[in-house]
Amino acid sequence: MPPICAVTDRINSEATLPALRGLAKLADARPVIVIDNREQEPLRFTRFESVRDTLYSGDYSARGLEESFAVERKSIDDIASCCASGNRDRFEHELHRLRGYQFKRLLIIGSREEIAAGRYHSRIAPKAVLATLGAFEIRYSIPLVFCASLEEAAAAIERWVWWTAREIVKSANNLLRGCEGE
């Protein structure tokens, strides 16, 4: 199965969310990506507007979903460092905070192969990094997603924001349909 970033399901620039009956303003709305103020080199988004703000958890979210949608981004060097004993407690605290989020991802820029080959600046063994990531994925119920480039990572976040917003609008439409019989 190809990694999620390789999926060719791209959002076109004219995409609109399904309309909420009676709320035409929402039908024309597009999600806004929130980038945490502490993110030093933010991803560049091409399909959606982005704003800087302070997020409780994660590096990326969507406006209005800051308490339920979070993506934590790490480079290969960062993730190796987070698996080492010196930074592990702080990182596990971050992952623990993400447990309550409906949508959460640990987005790693690079590949498992890079980790297995030890292509990072840390003394931690590659097997230890991979084992720690496996434990984190299960312990904190956080899917790991590897993307080969910053552009792929940005596209993945845009896709996740889009589909999350779309599902929320569909649920709201279903709720309104349920109220029509009254």
The predicted structure's pLDDT at residue 49 = 96
First-last CA distance in the chain:
46
Flag whether 130 is in a domain: yes
Residue 115's CATH number: 3.40.50.10130
Query: Distance (Å, rounded) from C-alpha 45 to C-alpha 81?
Result: 27
Q: How far apart are the C-alpha atoms of 110 and 78, rounded to whole Å?
A: 11
Prediction pTM value: 0.85
Residue 180 lies in a domain: no
Residue 179 lies in a domain: no
For residue range 80-124, list pLDDT tens digits in order: 999 998 889 999 999 999 999 999 999 999 999 999 999 999 999
Contact 101, 69 (CB under 8 A): yes
Q: How far apart are CA 119 and CA 36, in angstroms?
A: 27
Amino acid occupying residue 110: G
Residue 5 lies in a domain: no
The model's pLDDT over 118-177, given as tens digits with 9 standing for 90+, comes to: 999 999 999 999 999 999 999 999 999 999 999 999 999 999 999 999 888 888 888 877
Residue 45 lies in a domain: yes
Instruction: With respect to residue 122, please indicate whether it lies within any of the assigned structural domains.
Output: yes
CA distances 24 to 19, 27, 64, 83, Å, are 7, 5, 18, 47
Which residues are CB-contacts of 1 (< 8 A; sequence separation ≥ 6)? none
Q: What pLDDT is attached to residue 6?
A: 38
Write down the pLDDT at residue 132.
97
pLDDT at res. 7: 37
Beta carbons of 55 and 36 less than 8 angstroms apart: yes
Number of domains observed in the structure of the chain = 1
Is the residue at 65 inside a domain? Answer: yes
Residue 26 included in any domain: no
Show the CA angle centred on residue 124, arms to residues 118 and 130, nearest 5°. 65
Domain, as residue range, for 68: 31-173
Report d(CA 42, CA 156) in Å as an integer: 14
Residue 11 in this model has a pLDDT that exceeds 70: no
Which residue matches tokens 């999350």? 164
Instruction: Work out the percent of the chain whose per-residue pLDDT is above 70.
Output: 83
